[in-house]
Amino acid sequence: MQNKPAQILIIDLGSQYTQIIRRSLRYLGFHSVIISDVGRPTIERPTSILKWVEENKPKCIILSGGSASVYDADAPKIPEEILTLGLPILGICYGMQWLAYVHDKNSIQKILESKSYGPVEIKIYGSQTSLLFRNLGEKLKAWSSHGDSVKYPPSGFSATATSQGGAVLEAMENVTKNFYAVQFHPEVEQTEDKNIILNNFVSNICGCKQDYDKKDVIEEIRENTRKALGDGTAIIGVSGGVDSTTLASILTPTLGDQLKAFMIDTGGMRKDEVERVKEITQKAEINLEVIDKYKEKFIQEIGKTIDAEEKRAAFRKVYGEVFKDVAKGYGATHMIQGTLATDLIESGSGSAGASAMIKTHHNVDLDLGLKEIMPLQDYFKFEVREMARLFNLNEILTARQPFPGPGLYLRVVGVPVTAELLEIVREADHRVAEILKKHGVYDKIAQSIVALLGVNSVGVKGDGRVYGYSLVVRTVETVDFMTVKGFYLSPAICEEIISTLVKHPKIVRVFFDWTSKPPATTEFE
């Protein structure tokens, strides 16, 4: 609901999780607006915070986390006047450190070497008295990701939570001024408060009224896209993934002939993907053209390097060239992308605010000389799945696991991609999915990934030595892919996967990977 005025202002201080604060608020039924204070002005993120507050009169302010230290020369600058506006403020992570620092310059403990990220057990002192922690118990499993911390609450503030051993001050508040702060991240799903903390803040402390309804989203996406497109002609690349297919389904009835949907067969698709996408799009009445003449070019260009970022860059380059060709063929003026908030955040894209670049996404900030429309740029994966359901897209589509645009090219690791290796991972991916389905766990897993590791190791097959590759099977659970946890498979499933995959003459070992994100990412590259 970007078009509505918002009661809640989120000031983005460079956190990977800023959009998640917004998403969690939407989940709770509240619209909010993000302003990035570190440059990159957009219509929705004007640089002047105070001007925006004066014009829009929000009921409260949330300060996001961020990777800076308050001691950094280039730390995000928040105008201190926000402290005197009489608005309740919730500082999260860096936001808490900033709140402490502006009240007492000695209150910040600078950590020079190791940062703390991962789960923390929080001891809440104020669950009976603090409005922020109302309806929570005395212990909370939370997620933290920070370097510096607050040594002591500045004058006027009282401590309301610490880490279990008491080493880290995890929350503080100044009830008179309505300033609240938490060192951990209440917005992420790993903090097991079921969004109670954010809800306590916006509803009970700030008196915000629910103003966001999921059903409004489809109409708003259509209206905004129609406006952005005008009389133009738009192309949309449909990958068969949830995002682009849902978007094409949403827009087809409203844009009609102004929208040209096509699919590029990159050679890195899952087994039977093209046929499956044709079927799905036919049912959704999307008029789809499949273009497969560029497969060889993708393999050739990406196969020139084994470096993860160079491979992504090569994919992106060929993808861009192909898109340009296709756009020219249709005489297109615009390109519509199913890019999500997650993609923008991890690409460190200007459109996502101030977050750091993690990896290059093939379709973010792609310059084709066309005007770009990204109707899903504020949404997360699970929200798009909800849209697909609202839109009556069939359940198979909404329940499908996501698949990255560069596809199996990201799953041949440490060795140049060839058509043969792509075929090995394609078949292995299919076999693993079949096994997971047979054991009834496929639907519980957010994503299963099979990658080929190009490090030779010794095996023995049929009494002969084989110096071959390994496959790694990664199964994870998550809601939004900003953070993931390993989904541990039972020994019986692992055994079946191993015995199936090593049947290939060149595969000698199978590994399993259940590393969380962070520190790993979901994909290997």
Q: Phi then psi for 442, rounded to 5 degrees?
A: -55, -40
Q: Give the nearer residue to ligand XMP in terms of CB position, either 140 or 453.
A: 453
Which among 98, 92, 171 is positioned nearest to 130, based on CA atoms? 171
Considering only 233, 254, 516, 521, the residue that binds ligand XMP (CB under 6 A) is 521
Distances (CA, A) of 367 to 309, 315, 362, 406: 18, 14, 11, 17
The verdict on whether residue 104 carries a ligand-binding annotation is: no
- 199-to-46, 131, 142, 420 alpha-carbon distances in Å: 26, 10, 16, 52
Ranges of H-type helices in 7-136: 18-28, 49-56, 94-103
| Preceding amide of 402 cis, omega within 30 | no
Active-site choice (60, 146, 170, 187): 187
**In the complex with ligand XMP, which residue's Cβ is closer, 178 or 515?**
515
Rounded to whole angstroms, what are the CA distances from 257 to 80, 225, 234, 252, 335? 52, 14, 9, 8, 14
Interatomic CA distance for residues 46 and 236, integer angstroms: 29
Strand ranges (E), 15-115: 32-36, 60-63, 89-92, 108-109
Is 447 among the residues that bind ligand XMP (CB under 6 A)? yes
Q: Please say which residue, 83 or 306, places its beta carbon nearer to ligand XMP.
A: 306
Active-site residue 362, yes or no?
A: no
| 290-329 footprint of ligand XMP as x/- string (CB under 6 A) | ----------------------------------------
Stretch that binds ligand XMP, among 183-191, 217-225, 505-513, 516-524 (CB under 6 A): 516-524
Q: Which is nearer to ligand XMP, 98 or 380 (CB)?
A: 380
Q: How far apart are CA 289 and CA 260, in angstroms?
A: 8
The minimum distance between CB 244 and ligand XMP, in angstroms, equals 9
**Of 189 and 346, which CB lies nearer to ligand XMP in the complex structure?**
346
Does the annotation list 245 as a binding residue? Answer: yes
Listing DSSP states for 175-228 in one string gives TTTTEEEESS-TTSTTSTTTTHHHHIIIIIIT-------TTHHHHHHHHHHHHH
Query: Going residue by residue from 392 to 411, which x/- string records binding to ligand XMP, judged by CB under 6 A?
Result: ----------x-xxx-----
Q: Is 287 in the site for ligand XMP (CB under 6 A)?
A: no
The region of 328-336, 382-390, 452-460, 515-523 touching ligand XMP under the rule CB under 6 A is 515-523
CA-to-CA dists, residue 171 to 156, 186, 451, angstroms = 14, 11, 42
149 is in an annotated binding site: no
Q: Minimal distance in Å, beta carbon 407 to ligand XMP?
A: 9
Q: Which of 102-121 are b and which e, b meaning 16 or more Cβ less than 10 Å from the residue's Cβ?
A: bbbeebbeeeeeeebbeebe
Closest Cα to residue 16, out of 199, 104, 143, 141? 143
On whether 38 is known to bind a ligand per the annotation, the reply is no
Question: Does 185 qualify as catalytic in the annotation?
Answer: yes
Residue 238 counted as an annotated binding residue: no
Residue 187 annotated to the active site: yes
Site string for ligand XMP, 478-497 (x = CB under 6 A): ---x----------------
Q: Give the shortest CB-481-to-ligand XMP separation in angstroms.
A: 4
H or E stretch covering 388: helix 381-390
243 marked as part of a ligand binding site = yes
Amino acid residing at 10: I
199-258 residues in contact with ligand XMP (CB under 6 A) are none
Q: Which of 301, 346, 383, 496 binds ligand XMP (CB under 6 A)?
A: 346
Contacts of 254 (CB under 8 A, 6+ apart): 222, 225, 226
CA distance 187 to 89: 15
Residue 65 CB, shortest distance to ligand XMP, in Å, is 19
Closest distance between ligand XMP and the C-beta of residue 429, in Å? Answer: 12
Q: Cα–Cα distances in Å, from 220 out to 5, 108, 215, 261?
A: 14, 44, 9, 21
| 349-388: contacts with ligand XMP (CB under 6 A) | 359, 361-362
Residue 378, SS3?
coil
Residues that contact ligand XMP, how many (by CB under 6 A): 14
Q: At closest approach, how far in Å is the CB of 320 from ligand XMP?
A: 13
Cα angle 140, 143, 147; round to 5: 125
CB closer to ligand XMP, 170 vs 346:
346
| The pair of three-digit structure tokens given for residue 50, joined into one six-digit string | 């105070």
CA–CA separation, 525 vs 522, rounded Å?
9
Closer residue to ligand XMP (CB): 32 or 363: 363
**Contact flag: residue 517 with ligand XMP (CB under 6 A):** yes
Task: Choose the catalytic residue: 60, 93, 206, 208.
Answer: 93
266 is in an annotated binding site: no
Name the catalytic one among 185, 334, 361, 362: 185
CB of 87 to ligand XMP, least distance (A): 35
Rg of the chain (C-alpha set): 24
Q: Which is nearer to ligand XMP, 46 or 486 (CB)?
A: 486
Nearer to ligand XMP, 90 or 425 (CB): 425
Q: Which residue numbers belong to the known binding site for ATP?
A: 239-245
- Which positions are annotated as active-site residues? 93, 185, 187
* Residue list for the binding site: 239-245
Sites of contact with ligand XMP (CB under 6 A)? 346, 359, 361-362, 402, 404-406, 447, 481, 517, 521-523
